[in-house]
Structure 1
């Protein structure tokens, strides 16, 4: 697999992670989104309108945790001058994300029905992780895909469809479909798949599905540490031979 194709797979895996995490938060942590902040802010507005104190606090904690996660990732990634296809700073940010997810899983091993206080801490961990992931994925800049903001992805898909139809009307044939368009559509479908998987799993094994995102992030980190450096080394050698 080429480095480009591998990065595409990784972005889609992160979309799957977001879908799972959002459902875990919504079904098991008091109807709160820890990945999709648009939905979370809507829920917070509804809670304010109904004067539901606990619901307001949960959504607020998720929002603050997400902001802190994006901030932490921004500090780690910074204004890096690393122009490689996989900057080391992205690996560092995803490592921290994996740590938050793992801590969440460990804390829920012995108790699938956490107390209200524990719920606040669990919401914080998931929202921190998703904030880290959002910034790390944005740094990669794959097809302008956001792994946590579906609205933006959907808008891009619609724009791609309109552009394709316009090309067909003008030239009397369908232009070739770009990979970026396929990836944006796939991101939405896979996010939905993750949500469906988590919904089914949460019925019988509450909170256990969180191990799927942990495994995915771990595989991504292994790939980043072992596979990408080899590809980059091969690319440099090939470039050196070409220049000589």
Structure 2
């Protein structure tokens, strides 16, 4: 008599751990933290929200005060490099277990954020080495994560770094938009998660600098990496 492999067992390893919906909401909180660090602590640049970063790049290119073309361009290039790396890895290693793929990717994110935190603890927040290192590493980590989230394809939570489309879906699918309100709870939770992460990150940056919020972001990503399951 043969037994089914654990990977094919719906009650096996794939289903053990925290469901992907709360995992992705936790990552959305991390995104708010990261953008608070980058925008408030690194010179008005985003490293998680590329929509905002493209706008910032436009401001900087036009010569608006307080914005840097170099900072914005560094963030955008590193984010794209992270997303491209995530795409390549998902095609080579992302087949099969969603749980394994999610955990591996989040573990890499946690490591990168920990490196960013170590850099920030080791040098002044406003030193060029700190600024460019943290921008580059956090943007790469967010690009890698976005590629992973895209592959996971959890309905209602297809991104963890922007909420424009989330708000659009929330409104257009609501009763006011003559919709059914499907996935409204997930979308509302995502917006709240982003707000909470940004508020927490802003408070930490204002009172403690950028190293501590980066350390917290790394810790949260690490916990999610260790506990994520493969089920929605």
TM over 0.5: yes
Aligned residue number for residue 29 of structure 1: 42
Distance 1:199 1:132, change over 3 A: same
Greater gyration radius: 1
Output aligned runs, 1:14-163, within 5 Å. 14-50=27-63, 55-78=68-91, 80-82=94-96, 84=97, 86-145=98-157, 146-162=159-175
Q: Which has the higher mean CA deviation after the structures are superposed, 65-74 or 137-146? A: 137-146
3-state SS of paired residue (1:50): coil
Q: Deviations over 1:8-65 (max 9, x none)?
A: 1101000000011001000111110000001001011011111779700100000001
Give the secondary structure class of the aligned counterpart of 1:78. Answer: helix
- Which stretches in structure 1 are left out of the alignment for 5+ residues? 168-174, 232-244
2-side partners of 1:64 and 1:54: how far apart? 17
After superposition, the Cα gap between the structure-2 partners of 1:11 and 1:89, relative to the gap in structure 1 and judged at 3 Å, is same
TM superposition score normalised by structure 2: 0.83
Alpha-carbon shift at residue 4 of structure 1 (Å): 9.4
Q: Which whole-Å CA distance do the structure 1 matches of 2:227 and 2:18 have between them?
A: 13
Partners in 1 of 2:195 and 2:74 — Cα distance?
24
- Whether the aligned pair in 2 keeps the contact of 1:94 and 1:132 (CA below 8 Å) is no
Q: Who is 1:188 aligned against?
A: 191
Aligned to 2:217: 213
Query: Of the two structures, which has the highest relative contact order with CA contacts closer than 8 Å and spacing of 6 or more?
Result: 2
- 8 Å contact from structure 2 (residues 44, 66) kept in 1: no
In structure 2, the CA distance between the partners of 1:106 and 1:155, relative to structure 1 (3 Å rule), is: same
Kept in 1, the 8 Å contact 2:28–2:190? The answer is yes
Whole-angstrom CA distance in 2 between matches of 1:165 and 1:38: 25
| Structure 2: unaligned runs, 5 residues or longer | 1-14
TM-score (norm 1): 0.80
1:166 and 1:74 map into 2 onto residues whose CA distance is 36
- In the alignment of these two chains, the number of paired residues is 214
CA RMSD of aligned residues (A): 2.4
